[in-house]
Amino acid sequence: MASHSILDVLIGDAVPLIPKTTANSQAEAGVCPPTPTAPAARTVEDAISTRNILLTRFPLELVHIILDHAEYWGQVNAERTDEIAVCASAVFRANASVEYLATAPIANRGPEDVRLKLARVAFTIVSHDQGWCDEPGLKGTYEGYTWFAAAIIRPDAADSPAAHEVPMPNPAGPKGSKNWEIQRNFCASGEWRRHVVVWSEVGGTVKGTGVGTGEGFVSSLVPGDRIAVIARALCPGRVNWVQSVEVALYYRLA
C-alpha cells in the first residue's frame, strides 16, 4: 500500500492530516485511475515548423486560418505533483488560501520572432476534500467548501524592473474579486478525482459539475502575466487535499 506523504503542511501550525483514501481504495473506486502515457505535447516550435512547411504552398493569411481551424497550437505546460493539505481550521475565520502553482509569464514572441497569442488555458486538477460533510444536502454534489481558483498575477509597471507582482481584478466576478473559480471538489468523498477545465475567450460551464465559467479570464491576460492556481478551503474542518495540478497554455501563431 502506498503511503501518503505530506511535503507541506500549509496553514499556521496545522497538524498533518491522514487522508482516508489509500492507493488500493482509489483503484477500487475507479474514480481516478493511473493516467496512460500520453504523446508529447505539441510545442510552439512544432507549430512554427508546420507553418513554415505550409508557407511553401500557401500565403501567410491562409496558413494561419488552416492552423487555427485545426487548433494546431503550441502548448507550454506548468505542473506540480507534490501532495499537500489545505486546512481551513488552522487559519483565522477558517478561510484557507494557498498558492499551489504559478506558470511562467505569458509570452508574445516565440522562436524566429514569431508573434504568439494565447488561445486557451487548460487546468488538470487531482484532488479531494476531507471525505465527510455535516450538511446532508451537499454530499455527492459539487457545492462543498473546498475548491480551486485562478488568479492573474501582473508585474507592477509603476515600480522598478524587479517590482513585486499584484493580482488583477476579475471584471466578471463579485465586486473586489481578484480570482476566477476553476473547480470545486466533489463533496464528502476521500477518493482522488481528476478534473479537466478548459477556458477560451468564450466563457461557459455545465451546471452541476463544479466548473467555473472562466468568463473574462483569457481575454484579461496580457504578455508578462503569470497564472496562479490557488487551493481554497472554507469553514471549520474542511480540508482541500491536492495531489497535482497542471496548467497548459495554448498559443496560436499571430
Average pLDDT, the chain: 84
Give the domains, in start order, of the chain with CATH numbers.
77-253 (2.60.120)
Q: Which three cell numbers stand for residue 122?
A: 487548460
Measured between alpha carbons, how far is 244 from 128 in angstroms, rounded to an integer? 11
Predicted confidence (pLDDT) at residue 122 exceeds the cutoff of 80: yes
Residue 203 contacts residue 216 (beta carbons within 8 Å): yes
The pLDDT of residue 2 = 41
Banded pLDDT at 92 (limits 50, 70, 90): confident
pLDDT of residue 33: 64
Give the pLDDT confidence of 23-62 residue by residue, as tens digits: 333 333 336 666 555 566 899 999 999 999 999 999 999 9
Buried b / exposed e over 13-31, threshold 16 CB at 10 Å, is ebeeeebebeeeebeeeeb
In percent, the amount of the chain with pLDDT more than 90 equals: 69
Do the bridges between strand 193-199 and strand 116-128 make them parallel or antiparallel, or are there none, so unpaired?
antiparallel
C-alpha span between 97 and 230 (Å, rounded): 6
Pairing between β-strand 84-87 and β-strand 8-9 as defined by DSSP bridges: parallel
Going by C-beta distance under 8 Å and a sequence separation of 6 or more, which residues neighbour residue 59?
none
Q: What is the pTM of this model?
A: 0.82
Write down the pLDDT at residue 163.
52
All three cell numbers of 119: 488561445
Question: Mean pLDDT over residues 105-134, rounded?
Answer: 96
